[in-house]
Amino acid sequence: MARKRLKPEDIINKVETHYDSTEPLRSRMESDYSIYRLDPYDAGDGYQSYTSNEPSTYADKIISFLSSSEMVARIPNLTEDREKRENNNKKERFFLGALRHADERLTRQMKPTLKAQMSWFITLRGWFAGRALIMKDKDEKSFVDITPWDPMHTYWGTGAEGLQWACYKVKKSKEQIESEYNIKLTRNDDYEDWMDVYDYYDNEINMVVLSNGRVAKKATPHGSPRVPVFLGPVGATPMIQALNDHVPIDDTIEDHGESIYKHNRDSYLNHNHVMSIMLEMTSRARKQGLKIKSRDGMKTLDEDPYKEGTEISLAQGEDIEPLGLMEIAKETGSFMGLVSGEMQRGSVPHSIFGDLQFQLSGFAINTQDRELTAFFSQELMPYR
């Protein structure tokens, strides 16, 4: 049977349909990135706001664990045949060489290495994705192309046999599009500074289209026997359908493939909230509110009374009094201890960063660090 000709609008419609069904997952990924980049906490207009660096340092620690872990390439030798064992050894060496070649290509593009990028996406997105092909350049020389994709911008469709198609949708500038796909954008393309680029793969062809419907790369066989894309969630949570009919299936997809912030999202907000209150109280201790008495109640101060040597002239019957310090609730310290404990149970103990509240031997600290490194290397790294 002849293959149906794929049109640009077909690809765009596939991506938009999949976006609608996975929007909660992508919104969660965007929210987690906001936590990681330490977007300022807002305690309200006129109040001091505090933003903890806890989520960023925690994520960077886990990313460091993963990116510095040892990657093992091993093909089990279940035979004593010398020739077969040697062939398996060659396969292992080829795999390691392909990874090094891919890293060299990524480095030339001024991007982090494959394992570094995968560690970041696994930690903060809760998913991993990418394209893997052996390709040829203009001089017909073969090279390994293993390019990580941001799962938040990756779209896909599955069937009974697994992945049927995948598309990577990202914005690119006019210069990037013209250089990468050897085309010339004109005014008729109705482009702005950035355009959405759809890099589409199925089990036969690769095709690239722009958001305006123009084909940047015509349908071309990629030579792989399957969709040349690796994609998957982190963790053991499967796709769950709620028993309650009022909970749509799409709402539970955000639980499929979780980031490291799964346990601490609310704790970070509570921590920033209480710390903002304490910061506000500290600020008021430096500069208390004033009660000013005057005959008409309209008197204001032109000078800051808290500056050293300030002189204030007062008429008869006028007076200035500090309002006094406000006190935070007595339970605040205990509550902060509980929040801190919850954050550590949902992440890593503070002793990993050298913050010791009690005497602990160096051996115990190093043992704990090694155990955590081994845990995250085994549980979060999807490829070894």
Q: Model pTM? A: 0.82
Q: Enter the DSSP assignment of 182.
A: -
Q: Enter the DSSP assignment of 265.
A: H
Residue 226's CB: how many other CB atoms inside 10 A?
A: 14
pLDDT at 118: 96
Q: Enter the DSSP assignment of 205.
A: E
pLDDT at 32: 96
Segments of 118-222 assigned E as strands: 127-136, 142-148, 154-159, 162-173, 194-202, 205-210, 215-221
Phi/psi for 358 (5° steps) reads -150, 170
How far is C-alpha 268 from the geometric centre of its chain's CA atoms?
16
Phi-psi map region of 296: left, alpha, beta (phi>0 left; psi -120 to 50 alpha): alpha
**Token pair listed for 165:** 């198609």
CA atoms of 31 and 293, how far apart (whole Å): 49
| Residues pairing with 233 in the sheet | 127
Phi/psi for 231 (5° steps) reads -155, 140
Distances (CA, A) of 244 to 233, 247, 290: 25, 6, 57
pLDDT at 384: 40
Domain boundaries, the chain: 1-36+127-262
pLDDT tens track, the chain, 384 positions: 456 789 999 999 999 999 999 999 999 999 999 999 999 999 999 888 999 999 999 999 999 989 998 888 888 877 778 888 888 889 899 999 999 999 999 999 999 999 999 999 999 999 999 999 988 887 888 889 999 999 999 999 998 889 999 999 999 998 899 999 988 888 777 677 789 999 999 999 999 999 989 999 999 999 899 999 999 999 888 888 777 766 666 678 888 899 999 999 999 999 999 999 888 888 777 777 777 888 777 777 777 776 776 777 777 777 777 776 777 777 888 888 888 888 888 888 777 666 665 555 554 555 555 555 555 555 554 444
What secondary structure, in 3-state letters, does 66-126 show? Answer: HHCCCCCCCCCCCCCCHHHHHHHHHHHHHHHHHHHHHHHHHHHCCCCCHHHHHHHHHHHCC
Q: DSSP string spanning 278-345?
A: HHHHHHHHHS--EEEE-SSS----SS-TTSTT------TT-EEEE-------TTHHHHHHHHHHHHHH
pLDDT at 371: 56
pLDDT at 383: 41
β pairing state of 290-293 and 194-202: unpaired
H or E element: which one contains 58?
Answer: helix 54-67
Residue 208's contacts (CB-CB under 8 Å, 6 or more residues apart) are 181, 197, 198, 199, 200, 215, 216, 217
pLDDT at 382: 46
